[in-house]
Structure 1
Amino acid sequence: MASKINLSSANPTEEEKQTIVEALRQKLQGIKTVKNINTDEEYLLRWLYSTEFDVETSFLRMKDYHENMVENPTWFQKESPLNRKSSFEMNAAIMIPAHDKEGRPIYISKIGNLDPDQTTFADEACIDDIWYEYILDKNPEIAKIGLCVILDLGGISWKYLKMLNYKDCKLGLRKLSCLPFKELKLHCVNNSKYTKLMLKIVQPFIPEESKKQMFFHFDNCATLYDYIDKDNLPPEYGGYNKINHKKIYEKLFDKADAITENFRLHRNVIKS
């Protein structure tokens, strides 16, 4: 059995998918550090799509992801999105109905909108989880495209900067490294007087391979247009796509029950 199928040339047949899914399922059942990992086909497919159906890479990514979940449970959302409404009201993170030039969904994170007195890095990681589940639910094939993240560094406060610490940087980057997306393109836009200091703190923790996926535009949005069409960008970045936050949140909350049930299934892991 071939463990890898190149999705760039052809999708695997249904028969091949079933064989590879079962191979991954069998490997997961042999993990000795955690148990109760969800092995439903749809869940496994998102991890397989993210690695071009490489069983070994999918296995290692899932293993690290779920071990991290057991070791650091506060970094993983398990509740309903409805319980996080106050966090959404900050408009600090949103998955907009648009994509970059290579088809990746666009996720916008506005650090400057966060209130450090009302949130933590772990809280924000949980908000990210909700949006990831929102797009991956019933659509595991999105994992093979990846994710385009616009990280807005404008308005960063000194209080936010003081939140940064070694442990949170390490945990945050560990979680990012094993998400079920083939790749994550990060576009840093806007600036503040604390931006350079923040990057100086964070960059030592970023793997060299991940740095290759980072693009620093800062206040020069013109360079962002090489990667994302203006029709898909909000006006604050020089685009024409007016974002209706209320309507997007309504669509998200309409899926609250499905997302909550998925979290129950995917995160029912315990230490062996």
Structure 2
Amino acid sequence: MPVKVSHTIDLGPDLPNEIMDIARKQGEDPDRVCSDIQELRDMIFERGVCLPPRTDDDFLIRFLRARFFKLEHAYNLLCRYCEFRESNPELHVDVHPFLLTKLGEDDIVSVTPYRDQNGRRIMIYKFGNWRPSKIPVDDIFKASLILLEMGALEPQSQVMGGVGIFDLEGLSLQHIWNLSPSVAKKIISLMVTCMPVRTTAIHIINNNWAFDMAWQVFKPFLSDRMRKQIYIHGSDMDSLHQHIDKANLPMKYGGEMPEFPYTAWMENLAKNDKVMEEMKRLGYEFDPEEFSIFI
């Protein structure tokens, strides 16, 4: 079966039958969803620990799905999400997504317009392409947060989660100098601990001697469970293919898919009023003149 390619964010709301079967196995009971959401909402108001930007059903179900409908775990995730936003307002307050297109132009971070064999989105970072003198590290965080927030809009991604590929080809000392412990902690927060979409695995490829230095910065923030989700492949693409089918990978990684320009995502986002409205509710700014070039 050919891999489906689409630059459209699928807002659902209905899950495909095969994904719904997986959701049930993860604890989602269609007969209890409404009451579970209400119970989570009651916990928010009764405990008063965190103040989320939204408490509507579509927003809260993301946290329930991310934690297999275990209410206490979903509530704790929501609190970490709120704490991350409060601690890092510069990453989402007065942020204009269409002004971050330079990260796409330099091919630093991208999301494939297709899913892997398990129905997961694939986010690819090419840190060797990053020029710190041109692009501040906070811009990478802003772009990552935007991509994760948009991914969390998709019901299928809420259930299946996503997978990350860190391509470290070209990583150098210049990059390592910008990876302070606070930066490392922020990356882990985004990819693992604070967002309502699960990163089920991180695959590190094309790592060189500089990675060994970066790894020492990251290790203190990784629990044993997190470390088990990280796979280090070096230049062995056959090792990567044991986790992600070749049919669902770019040719650069021994796969069968071509490279897709980031502008295709921007063009579709510029035409999708519903997605932009969802992002506005999280505080993002969209000025017509900024995205008119993509229409």
Q: Report the TM-score range of the alignment, normalised by the length of the smaller protein.
A: 0.7 to 0.9
How big is the shift at 1:50?
0.9
Q: Structure 2: how far apart are the matches of 1:78 and 1:17?
A: 34
**Residue in 1 aligned with 2:24?**
7
Q: Structure 2: how far apart are the matches of 1:89 and 1:77?
A: 23
1:132-143 correspondence to structure 2 within 5 Å = 132-137=148-153, 139-143=154-158
Q: Please give the TM-score of this superposition, normalised by the length of structure 2.
A: 0.80
SS in 2 for 1:35: coil
RMSD, matched Cα: 2.4
**Residue in 2 aligned with 1:205?**
221
Q: Which moved more, 1:74-83 or 1:59-68?
A: 74-83
SS in 1 for 2:72: helix
Contact 1:92 1:114 in 2 (8 A): yes
Question: Do the aligned partners of residues 231 and 28 (structure 1) sit closer, same or farther apart at CA in structure 2, a change above 3 Å counting?
Answer: same
How big is the shift at 1:68?
1.8
Q: Structure 2: how far apart are the matches of 1:78 and 1:262?
A: 15
Question: Do the aligned partners of residues 251 and 132 (structure 1) sit closer, same or farther apart at CA in structure 2, a change above 3 Å counting?
Answer: farther
Q: Which moved more, 1:240-249 or 1:83-92?
A: 240-249
Q: Structure 2: how far apart are the matches of 1:41 and 1:251?
A: 29
Amino acid at match of 2:24: L
Are positions 1:193 and 2:209 aligned together? yes
1:48-197 correspondence to structure 2 within 5 Å = 48-76=64-92, 79-137=95-153, 139-176=154-191, 177-197=193-213
Q: Please give the TM-score of this superposition, normalised by the length of structure 1.
A: 0.86
Contact 1:45 1:140 in 2 (8 A): no
SS in 2 for 1:52: coil
Q: Percent identity?
A: 23
Contact 2:148 2:195 in 1 (8 A): no
Question: Do the aligned partners of residues 183 and 173 (structure 1) sit closer, same or farther apart at CA in structure 2, a change above 3 Å counting?
Answer: closer
Q: Structure 2: how far apart are the matches of 1:140 and 1:226?
A: 26
Ranges in structure 2 where 5+ consecutive residues have no aligned partner: 1-21, 285-295
**Residue in 1 aligned with 2:292?**
none
Q: Structure 1: how far apart are the matches of 2:93 and 2:247?
A: 32
How big is the shift at 1:100?
2.7
**Residue in 2 aligned with 1:28?**
44
How big is the shift at 1:263?
3.3
SS in 1 for 2:171: coil
Structure with the larger RCO, 1 or 2 (CA within 8 Å, 6+ apart): 1
Amino acid at match of 1:161: I
Paired residue total: 262
Q: Structure 2: how far apart are the matches of 1:70 and 1:11?
A: 30
Q: Structure 2: how far apart are the matches of 1:86 and 1:242?
A: 21
1:189-268 correspondence to structure 2 within 5 Å = 189-246=205-262, 248-254=264-270, 257-267=273-283
